[in-house]
Structures are given as C-alpha cells and as structure tokens.
Chains A and B, each alone.
Chain A
Amino acid sequence: MKRSPEERELEALLALSRQSRAKLQRLHEVLTTPGHYGTGATPATVVYRENKLQLLRLLDADGSPYRGPPVLFIPAPVSRYFILDLLPGRSFAGYIAAAGFDVYIADFGIPAKEDRFSDLAYYVDGLIRRCVRTVASIRQEASISIVGYCLGGTLSLLYTALYPSTVSRLVLLTTMVDGDFEGGIAWIAHRMGLEGESYDNPRLVPAVEVKSWFEMLSPGSNSVVGRVSDLWNRLDSSPDRLRDVRTMASWVDDVVPAPGRLLAELYREFGPGRNKLMAGSATVGHRAVDLNNITMPVMSVSAENDMIAPPEGVDAIRSIVPHAEIVRLRGGHVGIVAGRAAPDLWEQTAEFLGARAD
C-alpha cells in the first residue's frame, strides 16, 4: 500500500524512537548487571605491603603461585594497576603468567594527603627496590625481570640503572624518555602548570586535575558533550561489548591523585629544557643515575598512535641505551596493553622474557 509522505515521516520517527529506546534498554541492562571492574582479573595474593602499596603475586586456577622465572610489573603510580590485568582473557599479566612466568604486580594504591611528600627516591629507591627485594627473596633469585609501563617504565629505568645486578631483563612500555619532545602528557602537563608544582611545599594534585591533562590531549572528544555523544553511539553495541567498555572506562576514568613533590621532581629532572635522562645527568635523591650500568637485555615498546607517550619520544631511548631492542606496535597508549591488538605485545614480551618454564 503506498504511503503518503506524512506516513513515511511518521514511520521514520517510529523507527528512530525504537532505536533510541533499545539503546536506553541496553544501557539499563549494563548498569544493573554485575561486571568486572576495580580490581585485577587474575587471582592473586598480597606478598608485601608498605604504606598504600601492595605487591601482588598472581595465582593459577588452583590457587598456587606460578612457577618459572619471576617477572615484576611496575605500572604508573598515577593510574590504577589493573590495566595490566583487566579482564579474563584480556590480561597482559595473566598472559605472561600462563606463558610460564611467576608474575608479580606492584599496586601503588591511592595516595592520601600525607603522600604528597613522596618523591622520586621514595618510589625508586624505596617502594620499587623493596618490591624487587621481596620477589628475589621469595624466589631465591639474585635478579628478576621487570616490565615497566608508562611512568612505571621511567621509574623502572631509573631503578635498573641504580641496581643493575638485581635486574635480568627490562621491558619498557610506552615510556617517554625525551622530555624535550613537543607532545604527550608530560608536555601537556607542563603547559597546564606542572612547572608551578612546589617541591618544598607540595600539594596532593587532585585526580580531576590529573585527568584534565589527559583530556587536553583530545579536547573535543573529552568534553561532556563529546563523551555523552560517544557513549550514545556506543549503545548500539551488544551488552557484552558494553560490559567490556565499562571495564575499560572504569580504569580510564578512575585516575588517582598524584603526589605534588613527585611531579615537581619529575618536571625538574625530565621536563622540557631539563631532559636529564637524555643528557645523562639524572639523579634520584642524591644519587647520580648512570645509564651505562644498564647492560642487561632491554626491550622498549612504543605505540604508533600514542598521544600520551608519542613514539618518537619513546624510541629516543636508542640514544641513551644503545643496545635496547626498539619495537613499535600498532595501537594507542592503552590499547597496546589491554586492547584488541594487545596480544601482539604480550607475545613479543613473553618471547623476550625468555623460554617457557618447565
């Protein structure tokens, strides 16, 4: 039956109404059913605690520790650790454990007000060093492998230069080393006032402010209007896919506050115009960092579409650790570790870390 233009218009409006309602029904389903968020996906036990830090040891399905060479994951202290152990089947740390390694993850926790005084030495020479000691002691090994992600990679690099005999292999993921490179989160933070952070009279930089630096990397898409529009478009996906998105969002938007003293020191040491890693004059506390001490195998991975740690600023490590294996993979800063193409990184990392254990 031929419909009039008015009837066709009403048909179209009805179809639009149906689609919109379906989106809201999917949203309701996702918001009211339990999902996985806020913690790592793989069973783990806490083997060491200090202040807010918990050192986790991954366990297998029977609740037993994995055997094989020990590997310590160091995430960025300004974000939650579980990006490295996001979901069953989408866990970097879980993959490495299943590949035959005894995996540990440093969960730095959420800084409180008194932690604003924590500096580089506290993290590198304190927390990380004691994590490495704990793992080495548990496994009775003189040295272990370390995988550092983002700022966790910077801290791992500094630690390894200070204590090279305790590290057998070092993997750095999306770790900016060239502070003069114009782009990335450190550069944005500098433009938004990081140089104003006081070392002597620090504040606890609120999570919302830390988040604003990341949001400035893509201003349009991270406005409220942009986010709501993006979410509305995503609601065409299946509820299962939306639950995965929710898990990721629960990491992306769960930024933690940052110790002002640490940020002040990072800017003073590695910020634009200082760039002491590249200049070879970095210090941690009163100790000089000599990158020539790093002689063990090193792999540095950058992501092609990384706006937080641009690959050029990451790959610059070749000039300060000449023997480092430089790998560039498809993906962004987070996707490379926990996205759909992340298994590329996981496989390469497992291969680099060594043979499968018996």
Chain B
Amino acid sequence: MADDESKDEPTLVERWLKDQQEWQKTALAYLDSMTKNEEFLVHMGNAMRGSLLAGKPYPTASSATPSTPEAATDDRIDEILHALHLIQGELQDLRMTLSELASSESNTPGSSGSSRGAAKRTKKKSTGRK
C-alpha cells in the first residue's frame, strides 16, 4: 500500500514542470493586463517603485514642471491670475455680506415690503451657487 501511495504522489520533476506552467500562466496574466489596460501599466510602474499609489504615476523629479524659456512671460500671467483669485475672494466676501444683510433685514420685524422684496431678490441671486 505504501508503494501505491508513493506511485500516486507526483515526482519532483512533475511538480517542477507544474510549477513552471503556473509561472507561465502568471506571466501571461501580467502580459495580458499590460497590453489591454493602460492604467495597469501606470500601477505596475508604481509597484516597481514600491508604491501601491493608484490613479496616477508616482511623483518623480522628471514629472516636476520644467522651467521654459517663456518663463518670464508666464510669471506675469501667473501674477495676473493670482490677483484675479484675490479679487474673486473679495467678491465672495461682498456676496456673503450682502446675503447676511438681506437675511438680517428679512428677519427684522416691521421691515417694509419693498425692502423685503429687494432682500428676497438679493438672497435668491446669492444662493444660486451650488
């Protein structure tokens, strides 16, 4: 009976061959994903850097924005853009103040119909943002 059991057990060579087949399947699975899925290439590249970062390439020095000869012109444009952002902030503050004023006016007892109407219109305008 012991002889029968040892006959059923695969030999080391058979197990080695099976192991090689399994490696081939694994390699094919990777190749298949690499050819069909661009995102997989990015994720695999990240994994080869030791990161499971998903959705974008791992940050490297080469991915940083290089400086260009047009940098001087860009600087002025950037300053203008930043100034516009500051103005946007000021306008948001103004909008919020008007909204608060309108809200407090409509809550004030005995406020006139016309001012209530104006407050409602202002509030409607200012709450249009999602």
Q: Which residues of A contact B (CB under 8 A)?
A: 1, 7, 10-11, 14, 17-18, 21, 24-25, 27-28, 30-32, 35, 37-38, 45-51, 113-118, 122, 126-127, 130, 133-134, 137, 140, 204, 206-209, 211, 224, 226-231, 242, 245-247, 249-250, 252-255
Contacts and interface: CB of A to CB of B under 8 A. Distances in A.
B36 to A, nearest CB: 10
25 contacts: A17-B23, A21-B23, A24-B26, A28-B30, A37-B54, A38-B54, A49-B129, A50-B92, A114-B77, A114-B85, A130-B93, A134-B96, A137-B99, A207-B64, A208-B63, A224-B50, A226-B50, A227-B49, A227-B51, A230-B50, A231-B51, A249-B54, A250-B55, A252-B53, A255-B59
Q: Is the interface of A mostly helix, strand, loop or mixed?
A: helix
A228 B48 contact: yes
B64 A11 contact: no
A25 B33 CA distance: 12
Q: Which 9 A-B pairs have the closest CB atoms?
A: A227-B50, A206-B64, A114-B81, A114-B78, A228-B50, A253-B53, A249-B52, A246-B52, A117-B82
Nearest to B37: A32
A119 B128 CA distance: 30
Given A114-B78, A118-B82, A231-B51, A137 B63 contact: no
A46 B129 CA distance: 10
Nearest to A48: B129
B108 interface: no
A14 B15 contact: yes
A54 B89 CA distance: 13
A250 B129 contact: no
A231 B51 CA distance: 7
Contacts of A30: 52
Nearest to A10: B12
Given A31-B43, A113-B65, A229 B96 contact: no
Contacts of B99: 137
A116 B79 CA distance: 9
A251 B56 CA distance: 11
Contacts of B37: 32
A122 B99 CA distance: 22
Given A31-B47, A252-B53, 10 more contacts: A10-B16, A17-B19, A30-B52, A31-B40, A47-B130, A117-B79, A126-B89, A137-B99, A249-B51, A250-B52
A51 B87 CA distance: 11
Contacts of A140: 103
Contacts of A247: 54
Given A38-B55, A114-B82, A118-B82, A32 B49 contact: no
Q: Which of A47, A204, A208 has the most CB of B within 10 A?
A: A208
Contacts of A246: 52, 54
A180 to B, nearest CB: 31
Q: Which of B48, B60, B82 has the most CB of A within 10 A?
A: B82
